[in-house]
Structure 1
Amino acid sequence: MKKIVLMSAVLATGLVQNQVDAEELTIGLREHAFSAGIGNQISPNANYKLGYLYSEDKGHLADIAVHVTIDNGPHHIEIGPKWVYAWAKETNSGGAIAVGGGYRLMVSNLISLHASAYYAPSVLSFSNVEGYLEYDAKVQLNLSEDFGLHLGYRNKNIDYKKVSEVTFDSGYYLGATLRF
């Protein structure tokens, strides 16, 4: 499992070095949690995203996703793996390689709908983690081509070996997206 973590770090380092500038920066806030993420196109049909979530109650969670992307008019689809690692306060740390993706519908130039989901069974989980499930949905108001505000709901659950399932973060959040 250490090889998987090492390979993930090497991949992330290579992606960041090849694409120093981010195409998109996203932040999200809720009462007891803060999230931030950057993303960029690797090629016309692939992207990467790096994410971080801090929860006052649960700890830290970082993720790296690499997607194949499909654009068709107002529809944007992303499918691929996401490496997730949690440094939890109440239990041991651990991670997973989740499979999933996201969907975006541009309703108009002003409004877009976003949804994503990722799942990792025990066979794709390591350290003290038995499984992982996350889902997110949001509505974004695009104030310009470069800036949008969003309201969303997210849920991130980690299933630990010796502890019951831990909801790392769950609830409504406000956020902003800045595109370069």
Structure 2
Amino acid sequence: MKAPISHKLSSALTLACAVAFSASAQAGDFELQLSDDSVYAEVSSPDSTPMRFSAGYLYHEDSRNVMNLDFHAQNKSSFQGNDTHVGLGMKGIGYHEHNLDGLGMGLGGFGEIELNQVPGLSLGGSLHYSPSILTFSDVDDFLWLEAYSNYAVMPNAAVQFGYRYIKADMEEGKDRSLESSAFLGIRFQF
């Protein structure tokens, strides 16, 4: 059985997220996404840098809290005349709900393609997986999957529509869906 997350570790994770949010105050992106049951906010470093740092927080109405700190190598290029943005790296995930806790380090990446045939429209997604060797406390593994579209309504703002699925396999053998919903959102670029 894995050791439970102590109050100190939980406080440290909360502090790390707060520091990441404040350090990213001059971020490249800010996203706010809403579903029927949850709200998610994320700040990210600029797309123009070779490394991308992100910090996010999801609150679910079942008193479920999921935090993430991301670190990706990223690149912008072109695919069949469409601009692309891809990244490969890690997603640190912290989870707390009632008497359950979990930490994990997911490996994976993201990709986004701007469709030049429809100006302003882009499609993207991400996938990160944290196996048991990279998880702690009540969780055996994490899976974080997203698919989304952005439509730029102006040069620095877009509306979003997407789907997010976050799953944790718990130590007692049960799968736990931390989030499984469609979302609407806004994305601001600074």
TM range (shorter): 0.7 to 0.9
Contact map agreement 1:58 1:168 (CA 8 A) in 2? no
Amino acid at match of 2:171: K
In the alignment, structure 2 segments of 5+ residues that lack a partner are none
Q: Distance in 2 between matches of 1:53 and 1:170?
A: 12
Supply the distance in 2 between the matched residues of 1:56 and 1:100 (Cα, whole angstroms): 28
Segments ≥4 residues shifted beyond 4 Å: 4-12
Matches within 5 A, 1:19-168: 19-41=24-46, 44-57=49-62, 59-73=64-78, 74-89=83-98, 91-108=99-116, 109-162=119-172, 164-168=174-178
CA offset at residue 33 of structure 1?
0.6
- Normalising by structure 2, we get a TM-score of 0.84
TM superposition shift of 1:152:
0.4
| Number of corresponding residues | 178
3-state DSSP class of the match of 1:123? helix
- The 8 Å contact of residues 131 and 160 in structure 1, kept in 2 or not, is answered as yes
Runs of 5+ consecutive residues of structure 1 not aligned to the other structure: none
Quick check: 2:168–2:176 contact (8 Å CA) kept in 1? yes
For residues 20 and 182 of structure 2, the distance between their equivalents in structure 1, rounded to whole angstroms, comes to 33
Q: Give the Å deviation of 1:144.
A: 1.2
TM-score w.r.t. the length of structure 1 is 0.88
Q: Distance in 1 between matches of 2:156 and 2:37?
A: 28
Q: Secondary structure at the match of 2:92?
A: strand
Q: CA deviation at 1:128?
A: 1.3
Shift in Å, 1:16: 4.7
> Structure 1 residues 103, 12: closer, same or farther in 2, change over 3 A?
farther
Distance in 2 between residues matched to 1:154 and 1:124, nearest whole Å: 22
Say if 2:29 and 2:189, in contact at 8 Å, map to a contact too: yes
**Pair 1:42–1:50, CA change in 2 (3 A):** same
Query: Match of 1:22, SS?
Result: coil
Residues 22, 98 of structure 1: alpha-carbon distance in 2 compared, 3 angstrom cutoff: same
Deviations 1:52-96 (A, max 9, x none): 10111251000000110011030110111111000113x411110
Given that 1:8 and 1:83 are in contact with CA atoms closer than 8 Å, whether structure 2 keeps it comes out as no
Partner Cα separation in structure 1 for residue 89 and residue 134 of structure 2:
14
CA RMSD of the aligned region, Å? 2.6
- Share of identical aligned residues, percent? 21
Deviation string, structure 1 residues 77-129 (Cα, Å, up to 9, x no partner)? 0111111000113x411110000110000113410001101001100001111
Asked if the contact 2:17/2:55 (under 8 Å) is kept, the reply is: no
Q: What is the CA–CA distance in structure 2 between the aligned matches of 1:150 and 1:15, rounded to whole Å?
A: 21
CA deviation profile, 1:19-73 (whole Å, cap 9, x unmatched): 5412110011111111000001397211101011011125100000011001103
Q: Structure 2 counterpart of 1:126, which letter?
A: F
